[in-house]
Amino acid sequence: MNSQSKQFNILSLASRLDRIGITMLRFGVAIIFLWIGALKFVPYEADSITPFVANSPFMSFFYAHPAEYHAHLTHEGQLDPVQRAWQVANHTYTFATGLGVVEITIGLLVLSYLFSNKLGLIGSVLAFLTPIVTLSFLITTPEAWVPNLGDANYGFPYLSGAGRLVLKDVLMLAGAVVMISDSARRILDEEAS
């Protein structure tokens, strides 16, 4: 076998990777929604989304005292009973539990393409809408940017850890578009046969 023939075989194989890629994408998106959704039932994860929710014009109404969140933040793994009591009174955990249920539902709907193309499409659309909300946090949440603590590099475009985490949802958004397209194609093929 000559080198051109080998190259053709490799490229031919690579050209079909989209078939397993879409399946891998669906499972990857589902894992993210299921895992992060399940973590919303744990106080440390609920605490960590407090700045995003408190600053969001679309979600802050879920909290009893969104403007007071700065004084009640904790670090992952830190147990502070006073701050935990404030988070309970703020409805932080109630909101996070509801959000967790929504995220787990989206993850299950994304996986449902295995037996229902229409449910898979619904999951894909919801997986598309979710990052739009999440990406809005880059505009509404001051903690998404490196604060001015003396270094010359702060504010836009210097993303903090929270901002970098949010920015990754651009990939979720793009992946959801591919999943929507695949689900729509499957539904059309199903109806044509």
Tell me: the pLDDT tens digits for 5-17?
Answer: 887 788 888 888 8
- What is the per-residue pLDDT for 38? 98
pTM: 0.91
pLDDT at 1: 65
Answer yes or no: are the C-beta atoms of 100 and 37 closer than 8 Å.
Answer: yes
Model pLDDT, residue 179: 97
Q: Is the C-alpha dihedral spanning 175, 177, 182, 187 positive or negative? A: positive
Question: Residues in the chain with pLDDT < 70?
Answer: 1
Q: What is the pLDDT of residue 14?
A: 87
Q: What is the pLDDT of residue 113?
A: 96
Cis peptide bond upstream of 43, omega within 30? no
Integer angstrom CA distances of residue 160 from 47, 67, 75, 125? 17, 21, 15, 29
